[in-house]
Each structure stands twice: as C-alpha cells, then as structure tokens.
Amino acid sequence: MRSVPATSPTAPLQPADRRWPDFLIYAGFALNGVATTILGPTLQWLKERWNLNDAQAAYVWVQYLGQLVGTIASDRVVARVGAKRCLAFGAALMGIGIAGLSAANWHLGLLFLFVNGLGIGLATPTTNLLVSHRHPQRRAAALSFVNLIWGIGAVVCPFVSGFFLHRGEGLRFLYIVSASMFLLMVLFLTLRETIATGGEEAHGAKVTVPLSTWCLFAAALFVYVGTETSVGGWSTVYTHRMDFSGNLSSVMPSFYWAGLLTGRALAPFILRYVSEFKVAVSGLVLGGAGVISLILARGIPSAIVSVVLAGLGFAAVFPIVVGWMTHRFGPTGNRLAGWAFVSASLGGAMLPWLLGQIANRAADMRVGYGVPLAGVIILLLLVPRASRLEASRLGPTSPGVP
C-alpha cells in the first residue's frame, strides 16, 4: 500500500484545532487509496479503450512521476497556503485526473494520469503529517488506522470498478470517483479551522548522513515500491490472459491489497516475538515465492493464492525499512527522508514501466514478471545492510549528504 508515513517531507504542523473532523480526513484518505490504485483494476480496460500494447501501456505509470512531483511540492504548498487548502487542491487534481481518463487519446490520458499523481503526491504526505500532529499522544496508532482506511479504499476499488466495467459503464465509474473528489474538495474548503505551519525543520538545523547510507535506503525504497507496484499493478492484465471473461481478473488487485492489509494488521503482533530483521527477510522470501508462483500459475485460483502470498510477504517490509531509515537519520533528518521517498515514487514509475517493456518485447507477461522477482532478490541483498546500519547508529561523518 503506497502511503507516505509520518516522516514525509511536508512542513511540520502545530497541533490542530480539535474541531477538525477526523472523519473527513479518513474519507479523503479512502478516496486517496482509490485514486492511487485505480490503474490496477482499470489497466486492461484502458488498454482496450486506447488500443495499447504492453509497451505503450507501461507509460501509464507516469502517474507515479506526478506523485513524485507532488510529494516534493507538498512542503512548499502547505507552508504557503496551509494543510486544508493543500488537501483541497490535491483532491481537485485527483478529480480532474480521473475524469480525464475518459479521453479518447491515450497521450492526453497520460497527461491526466500525471495530474492524478500530482494530486496524490500533495494529499498523501499532508494527510499523514496532519494525523500525526492531531494525535501526538497516540501517533503510531492514529497513523496505522488512517493508513488502514487508505487500504480499504484500495481493496474496494477493484470490486466497484469491476461492477461498472462488466456492465460496460467504465466511464460512469470514472465520473463517480471524480465527482466524489470534487465534493471532498468543497468540504475541505468550507472548514473554518486554520492549520498553522512551522518554520524550517528544527529551526534550520541540519543533519549530515554519509552518502552511502542515504543511497542504500533510497535504493531500498526505490526497489521496494517499484516491486510492490509492479506485482499488483499488472495483475489484471496478466490474469486477463487466463480468464478472458474478465470476471475475476478485474478484481485481482483486491486480493493483492487484501494480502497487504492482512499482513500489516498481523505485523505488530508478530514483531512482539520476532525481530524486525527476521520479519523483513522472511517477508521477502514469502513475497518472492508468491511472485514465482504467479509466474508459474496456469489458472485464476492459483493466481489468487499467488498474489495473496505476495501481498502478505511484502506487507511488513516497507514499514520496517522506513523505521530503520528514520531512526538512522535521527529527528532532524526529515528532509533527507523526504528525498528518499522521492526515490520511492520514482521506483513506482520505473519498474512497472520496465515490466511492460520487457513483457512486450518477449511477448510473454511471465517474462516481464521477472522484474519484481529481481527486485525481491536485490532487496534480500540490501535489507541486511540496512539493518546493520540502523543498529550501528554511527555518528554523522563526512563526506555526507547535508
């Protein structure tokens, strides 16, 4: 599930007025989950609508480049106009981007996907940080809950879209989601509360981290997000070739996100008894087994089991690696962490694109799924090193990343 944790690059907020309706934040993040994952269940429909091959369809992940730009810009937007207007602006961009998928021209559709990603990039870190500062005494629980809500949106999206797509009403689905985004924008704008923003991080304080350390965590996030997105994002197209009726292939991402949600719900209990390193490595092994099983699958039932296994395996990896990174960077390292999350968004754009290019050249989607399998192998090499760096808590040295 692609949400930015509390250590996002967004400017820090002072505790908000308690009148701010949490339910509206949660509703907005559920729709954010829909907007972020909408490509998975609609990719086959978009391919047919725009008459795309796998290589051309790979460019739809330009959405993640928009998300990258939005994440970078969110810091300045919140500082200039406040969190509530940033959320409203993000909702409006998502509404425009999703409605724009109705365009008959696929090049224009790519532009609207970028706009959708831009809105996601603005809203996601702002929502996480807003929740974090609204609940300072139970920050972890509040962030876990709001991201659970995001996951519910991600799981529900394929079922709702599948209902409309099977009835030949794909455009109606897009317009309903878009209208919901604009309604959310209006609700955000009518709120009376003002959210104060702080100054520069820690009053201009800077942290120095060795360049090799930053590169390691940035690379891990790049590969992880790209791997996670590749497996779920292409699952509809891949399984559509096993089930041409599309009755189950269109909801395949729901099984994947459900696996991720279940894994993240179980992780806190497992981590009471098993070390983070063992959970991360075991998760990657299980996720890799799920990817291999998906490559070898010959029918929908085995494909469902495969994507659930992959989701369960990947579930705890991202939170654990992010926790190691923020602990290693320290309390004044939010800006460095922010640029690492930019690397993560870039991975979400590049690896699914690479999967599509390879699958098209080989004329076999199974070959393309070698990309996330390679990602798992790379992560199995990076995670032990990241764990040692976090455990060492070495003091800042030069040369480093300022």
| 1-198: CATH class | mainly alpha
Say whether 207-392 and 1-198 share the same fold: yes
Long-range contact list for 214-217, CB < 8 A, 24+ apart? 214/336, 214/339, 214/340, 214/400, 214/401, 216/382, 216/385, 216/386, 216/389, 217/321, 217/324, 217/325, 217/328, 217/340, 217/386
Q: Is 160 exposed, middle or buried (0-12, 13-18, 19+ CB in 10 A)?
A: middle
Give 24 or 181, the one with higher predicted confidence: 181
Give the model's confidence band at 78: pLDDT under 50 very low, under 70 low, under 90 confident, else very high. Answer: confident
Dist. CA 397–CA 134, nearest whole Å = 35
Q: What is the pLDDT of residue 325?
A: 84
Q: What average pLDDT does this structure show over 391-398?
A: 51
Question: Is there a contact between 153 and 25 (Cβ–Cβ < 8 Å)?
Answer: no
Instruction: For residue 289, give the H/E element and its range.
Output: helix 276-296
pLDDT digits (tens, 9 = 90+) for 136-168: 666 656 666 777 788 889 889 988 998 898 888
Instruction: For residue 295, give the H/E element and its range.
Output: helix 276-296
Closest CA to 92 of 12, 164, 176, 179: 179
Question: Which tokens is 75 given?
Answer: 């810091």
Domain ranges across the chain: 1-198, 207-392
β-pairing, 400-401 vs 209-210, is antiparallel
pLDDT over 70, % of the chain: 82
Q: What is the pLDDT of residue 204?
A: 47
| Strongest mean pLDDT among 17-26, 89-98, 384-393 | 89-98
Taking 90 as the threshold, does the pLDDT of residue 114 lie above it?
yes
Taking 90 as the threshold, does the pLDDT of residue 246 lie above it?
no
Average pLDDT, the chain: 83
Residue 207 Cα to chain centre, angstroms: 27
pLDDT digits (tens, 9 = 90+) for 5-16: 444 444 444 444
Q: What is the pLDDT of residue 125?
A: 82
- According to CATH, what is the number of the domain 207-392? 1.20.1250.20
